[in-house]
Chains A and B, each alone.
Chain A
Amino acid sequence: MQFLRKRWRAVLIFALSTLMLSGCGKIVVLNPQGPVATEELHLITWSFGLMMIVVVAVFALFAFMLIKYRAKKGSKIDYQPEQEGNRLLETVWTVVPILIIIALIIPTIKTTYALVKPPSTGTPVVIKAVSANWKWMFQYPGQGIETVNYVVIPANRPIEFQLDAIGPMNSLWIPALGGQEYSMPGMLMRLWLQADHPGTYVGRSANFSGRGFVHMVFNVIAKSPSDYATWVQKVKTTAPAMTMADYQKLTAQNVVHTMTFSHYIKFFGPRNNSMNALYRAPNS
């Protein structure tokens, strides 16, 4: 008997740990790779913990009521059909949730304000992320280069993504590094992210934007500062400059592979009509 139980425990522990190892490794939001995602995870676990208090309380009460007060034939359970309320109890379940909410809203507000600031003190890298009809263009104003459908960042430095859009709204989401922000035509938005280590992380558009939306996936490649500098240099010297033909292809509605440019053309057309853009002269 004892033996059996022990064995079951071993099986249970084994099952749980494999689940944790295999499953949770893939739960990207629970495995943050940067300070922003880490801070958000703190809030997630904190709110989850607070909610578990409620779950335990309600589930326990629920089970108690169902077991104790189910109608049984001939039983003389305590039956009080006219009981209609209880001040004390009602106060308790009004006040306790309010306390829980206070415990939740304080860190929420703190983090909300914290996330509009750079996540660390390093010099930020500015990358303009433009969602353009089912593709992501990443422009590096400081370096003058552009990547399409992938982005390279230095690890351990704050990245300031400036979000812009040609065409419908999308949302830039790199769950390993932090939460998302919408990219909207004609309204520049800012999203601070940072990677702790070199590595490759998946990003995608989280907001539906039409048929090609699923293909708005990109890799975020975080490199060590020196590797990053080398990469920028290499792009500048070896990648082609963007031509007008490239520009037209990029602003049109289509799905493209990854691309790299040593020089990019700034967007100059009206933002919801990539076709109209073709009829105007570039101003760069």
Chain B
Amino acid sequence: MLHSLLQLGDKYFMWNEGPMIWTSDVLIVLTSLGIIGVLTYLKRWNWLWKEWLTTVDHKKIGIMYIIAAFAMFFRGGMDGLIIRAQLAVPNNQFLNAEHYDQVFTTHGTIMILFMAMPFIIGLMNIAVPLQIGARDVAFPYLNALSFWLFFFAALLFNISFVIGGSPDAGWTSYAPLAGPFYDTGVGENYYLISLQITGIGTIATGINFLVTILKMRAPGMTLMKMPMFTWSILVTSIIIIFAFPVLTVTLALLMFDRLFGAQFFSVTHGGLPMMWANLFWIWGHPEVYIVILPAFGVFSEVVSTFSHKRLFGYKAMVVSMVAIAILSFTTWVHHFFTMGAGASVNSFFSFSTMLIAVPTGVKMFNWLFTMYKGRIQFTTSMLWALAFIPNFLIGGLTGVMLAVAPADYQYHNSYFLVAHFHYVLIAGTVFGVFSGLYYWWPKMFGHILNEKIGKWAFWIFMISFNMTFMPMYFLGLMGMTRRMYTYPAGLGWGPLNMIETIGALGMGLGFVVMVYDIVYSIRHPEKDLTGDPWDGRTLEWSIPSPAPEYNFAVIPEVKGIDAYWMMKHPKGQEPEPTKAVDKSKIRPIHMPNNSYRPFIISVAFFVAGFGFIWQWYWLGIPGLIVVVIGLFLRSFEYDDEHFISTEEIVQTETAAGRL
């Protein structure tokens, strides 16, 4: 009896794997009990359910995205530190190959799909409706569904660590290595199915923001008068709509191989393993632009705001983003120049890849010249944006070097490549979301993040980042390949690796200081009473901080780019009252109702996913049935909206000092 119990424990909970798993088990149980305990003690269950779990308010959804992204940053960061601990010295035996493979796989997958994506989607949730003068997104219910799908997909992916084992074929999950023959066990199923679930949410987000931006702009805001961040999200949404369905199909095909014995990517029976690489990167390259363009959008806002000057070359910025979006679908082969596609194909993709550098360069110079004849103010948000310029430049230019196909034969799969994509992803996306976080935090919570602690976090993180990733370029040229779990002494790789590990610890410290900044600022809030702490330019700064539920008591009239700046600095006319709301224009506001269904549907997805991962169809199929029932019920829901009365609006606005 005891024996068979232990066997079950080994099979499902991997108790035979030793203290790391046991510790995690204990920690997870304790944390869950702690959260449940605190919520019960504070009688907060009802509040949690009513205010958060069932909300369809884009601002709250944005906040939840960002909280989840922070948690995933922590998880992915721990993976990164474990990787660096293992590689600190030659011949290290801290991890074995099997564990190391799992750790770099979960690191990459989590950082891109469960950290960068939700962080960006969080920021766009918070900022886009406010920037275009809308009261919510086009489909608030769908928006909540997107969030919960992501949330439960992330949960599903993470529990693989303690239930059944993590995936271990790399975040690129190349077949046939990730196919059923070489990768037995459930780890890879976790990868396929959790990405599938979050991918559905992302497609919905793409559609949602495309429609929101196209249909819900305030009167007067033509496309060419939109804030640049909103532009970046419009373009990103379009890329999502074209790229993510490819991921959906790709994941589904490999899932058929693994669960149902199909042969799409097998070597025997006419499968095409190379097809995986093609499909993966047809999604994968656009994906890197999905995570960078919104960051570009943030930098455009932040650089212009803190230079107290208009964005330089607005039109060029838009055109170059559109160009990048189109080109991003024409470069995927540069991820496998070494797969023997032939000289002509490689030449073509070298060229198309290099071309992307042109619009990217245009944007770079536009940011630089936005500062020209401005008044640069070094806030924490601005520091992140400024640091982006030189650091991302290094990443982008080494990208161009990688685009030289014959040279790439020497860089490919080496640490040179690892350095490149961290320089673009961290100096681009991560600096971008941090910049955006400091920038929009007051709008989210009504107080400013402490600048002094924030700057400490910035400097520690930024310097450590360079210390971690700069040596990787050299290690690559020294012949060190990526995904090696250990390396011999005598090749001269030791010292650089040690420097990197110290750098990684520094980045960890920087992250901790930033979290401390958040905690400190919540406990000692420096209130933003004006709603416009940075002398902002776009509409989100025209309303109180934090933004009221309905965002705009009266929808503003837009007269040009930087709508709010123009209200504050009218040319020739009397200054318009910028803060006060015209009481006579207040009408009852039509708002969507909260709904518990997105949460329930996502739980059902989670259960179904778990069932399919273990091939327990008695669990998976009922889970899917619940999903379908949820969708069906939604289709027949007619009473899903309410009005906020004029009195209530007047009350809220008076409290905010606007009336």
Binding site for B on A (CB under 8 A): 23, 26-30, 37, 39-40, 43-44, 47-48, 51, 54-55, 58-59, 61-62, 65-66, 69-71, 77-86, 89-90, 93-94, 97-98, 101, 104-105, 108-109, 111-113, 115-116, 167-169, 171, 173, 175, 178-182, 184-187, 189-190, 202, 204-214, 270-273
Contacts and interface: CB of A to CB of B under 8 A. Distances in A.
A79 B362 contact: no
A97 B358 CA distance: 6
B393 A55 contact: yes
A155 to B, nearest CB: 20
Interface stretch (B368-376, B517-525, B631-639, B641-649): B368-376
Range of interface residues on chain B? 35 or more
B342 interface: yes
A189 B286 CA distance: 28
A39 B484 CA distance: 27
Given A66-B386, A179-B338, A90 B479 contact: no
Nearest to B365: A93
A213 B174 CA distance: 14
Interface stretch (B175-183, B292-300, B432-440, B448-456): B175-183
Contacts of A37: 410
Contacts of A202: 479, 491
Interface in B375-422: 375-378, 386, 389-390, 393-394, 397-398, 400-401, 404-410, 412-414
A44 B407 contact: yes
Contacts of A28: 477-479
B582 to A, nearest CB: 27
A169 B591 CA distance: 54
A112 B310 contact: no
Contact of A26 (B347, B386, B492): B492
B316 A181 contact: no
A110 to B, nearest CB: 9
Given A168-B177, A182-B340, A214-B485, A40 B409 contact: yes
28 contacts: A30-B477, A47-B407, A55-B393, A58-B364, A65-B368, A77-B375, A78-B373, A79-B374, A82-B310, A83-B312, A85-B314, A86-B312, A86-B369, A89-B365, A93-B362, A108-B347, A109-B350, A169-B273, A173-B413, A173-B481, A179-B410, A182-B339, A202-B491, A206-B414, A210-B177, A214-B485, A270-B268, A272-B176
A139 B487 CA distance: 27
A108 B404 contact: yes
B411 to A, nearest CB: 8
Most buried by A among B170, B410, B474, B492: B410
Given A69-B375, A104-B354, A115 B267 contact: no
Given A97-B358, A208-B483, A43 B373 contact: no
A62 B176 contact: no
Interface in B455-494: 474, 476-479, 481-487, 491-492
A270 B263 CA distance: 14
B362 A71 contact: no
Contacts of B390: 58-59, 62
A37 B389 CA distance: 33
Contacts of A105: 347, 350-351, 354
A171 B413 contact: yes
Contacts of B177: 168-169, 208-210
Given A51-B400, A84-B314, A98-B358, A58 B389 contact: yes
Contact of A210 (B182, B309, B397, B481): B182
Contacts of A101: 351, 354-355, 357-358, 400
Given A71-B377, A179-B406, A179-B409, A84 B338 contact: no
B478 A26 contact: yes
Contacts of A186: 267
Contact of A94 (B273, B362, B412): B362
A96 to B, nearest CB: 8
Contact of A97 (B181, B361, B373, B394): B361
A113 B477 contact: no
Most buried by A among B315, B407, B478, B486: B407
Contact of B397 (A39, A55, A83): A55
A179 B412 contact: yes
Given A81-B374, A90-B362, A181-B340, A48 B410 contact: no
Contacts of B266: 272
Given A180-B413, A208-B483, A209-B177, A112 B346 contact: yes
A55 B364 CA distance: 12
A185 B407 contact: no
Nearest to A189: B340
A230 B378 CA distance: 71
B484 A112 contact: no
A54 B361 contact: yes
Contact of A184 (B339, B375, B413): B339
A276 to B, nearest CB: 8
Contacts of B476: 29
Contact of B375 (A29, A55, A79, A190): A79
B434 to A, nearest CB: 19
Nearest to B354: A101
A104 B351 CA distance: 9
Given A66-B376, A214-B486, A175 B406 contact: no
B479 A204 contact: yes
Contacts of B179: 272
Contact of B273 (A89, A184, A210, A211): A184
A208 B479 contact: no
A261 B412 CA distance: 32
Contacts of A190: 340
Given A62-B390, A211-B98, A185 B273 contact: yes
Interface in B148-176: 169-170, 174, 176
A275 to B, nearest CB: 9
Given A47-B401, A213-B483, 10 more contacts: A43-B404, A51-B398, A79-B373, A179-B407, A179-B410, A190-B340, A204-B481, A208-B413, A272-B266, A273-B268
Contacts of B375: 69-71, 77, 79
Contact of A181 (B351, B409, B483): B409
A136 to B, nearest CB: 14
Contacts of A270: 267-268
Contacts of B492: 23, 26
Most buried by A among B170, B340, B342: B340
Contacts of B378: 70
List the 9 closest A-B pairs by CB distance, nearest first: A179-B409, A272-B267, A206-B413, A26-B492, A168-B177, A208-B483, A71-B375, A65-B371, A51-B397
Contacts of B407: 40, 43-44, 47, 108, 179
A41 to B, nearest CB: 8
Contacts of A112: 343, 346-347, 350, 405-406
A175 B316 CA distance: 42
Contact of A83 (B310, B413, B481): B310
Contacts of A167: 176, 182
B39 to A, nearest CB: 42
A62 B372 CA distance: 10
B307 interface: yes
A108 B350 contact: yes
Contacts of A205: 481
Nearest to B360: A97
Given A59-B390, A112-B346, A178 B409 contact: yes
Contacts of A180: 338, 409-410, 412-413
